[in-house]
Amino acid sequence: MTQSVKQEHHAAEIDIFGFWTYILSDCILFASLFAVFAVLHHNTYAGASIKASIQLPYILLETLVLLSSSFTYGLGILALYQQQTKMLLFYLFFTLFLGCLFVGLELNEFVHLYMEGQSWQSSAAFSAFFTLVGTHGLHVSLGIIWMLVLFIQILFFGPNAFMQKRLTYLGLFWAFLDIIWIFVFTIVYLMEAI
């Protein structure tokens, strides 16, 4: 490795470290939302409990969709390393599809809750619920827009060094959203439904 290549590699490492620091601070944001939910989840203002409106199999489907999207994104990154642009675009498209499916399922769940008369104004418990789950959904939606932009950029410019860096950032972000969802699934849905 020549000196300049080494330095370039080092600069890329530092950039990724910066993005990693952002993700960790986002984790702390989610931790405070989880803490709020854990404190308020019984305060239903004499209305229906969260437990009554949870359908576990539906939530399991959402979980599996998001988990698969993390895996297909990983396969896309591998196609990038092997310089197979078509496979990369295919996997990105598949990941986009799964991401949209996840957000669609979640919106459908929210609409159903609203029809049953549960909105974020019903009680402290539902405020905490919608804030936590909604913030995660908002992150996934932004990730989808980001992925769409990268998809179009790769179509036009091919997977150059810039695109590789951007895809690495998005990969970290996407894996992070999957990890947050594990805890949403466990704490908000499974533990609440018991």
**At closest approach, how far in Å is the CB of 20 from another protein?**
5
Q: Are 61 and 102 in contact (CB under 8 A)?
A: no
The reply to whether 157 sits near another protein by the rule CB under 8 A is no
H or E element that contains 32: helix 3-40
Q: How far is CA 144 from CA 17, 39, 107, 139, in A?
A: 22, 31, 15, 9
Task: Work out which of 7, 32, 108, 119 binds another protein, going by CB under 8 A.
Answer: 32
* Nearest in space to 97 (alpha carbons), one of 147, 152, 156: 147
The reply to whether 24 sits near another protein by the rule CB under 8 A is yes
**At closest approach, how far in Å is the CB of 74 from another protein?**
4
**At closest approach, how far in Å is the CB of 41 from another protein?**
11
- Count other C-beta atoms under 10 Å from residue 101's C-beta: 16
How many residues touch another protein (CB under 8 A)?
A: 42
Task: Work out which of 81, 114, 157, 162 binds another protein, going by CB under 8 A.
Answer: 81
The reply to whether 31 sits near another protein by the rule CB under 8 A is yes
* Nearest in space to 62 (alpha carbons), one of 148, 157, 133: 133
The reply to whether 111 sits near another protein by the rule CB under 8 A is no
**At closest approach, how far in Å is the CB of 120 from another protein?**
20
Q: How far is CA 14 from CA 10, 17, 26, in A?
A: 6, 5, 19
**At closest approach, how far in Å is the CB of 174 from another protein?**
9
The reply to whether 138 sits near another protein by the rule CB under 8 A is no
- Count other C-beta atoms under 10 Å from residue 142's C-beta: 12
AA letter at 169 = Y
* Nearest in space to 180 (alpha carbons), one of 28, 17, 68: 28
Q: Choose between 17 and 156: whose C-beta lies nearer to another protein.
A: 17
Task: Work out which of 8, 15, 21, 47 binds another protein, going by CB under 8 A.
Answer: 21
Sheet strands (E) in 116-179: none
Residues at the site binding another protein, with contacts judged by CB under 8 A: 13, 17, 20-21, 24, 27-28, 31-32, 34-36, 38-39, 56, 60, 63-64, 67-68, 70-71, 74-75, 77-78, 81-82, 172, 175-176, 178-179, 182-183, 185-187, 190-191, 193-194
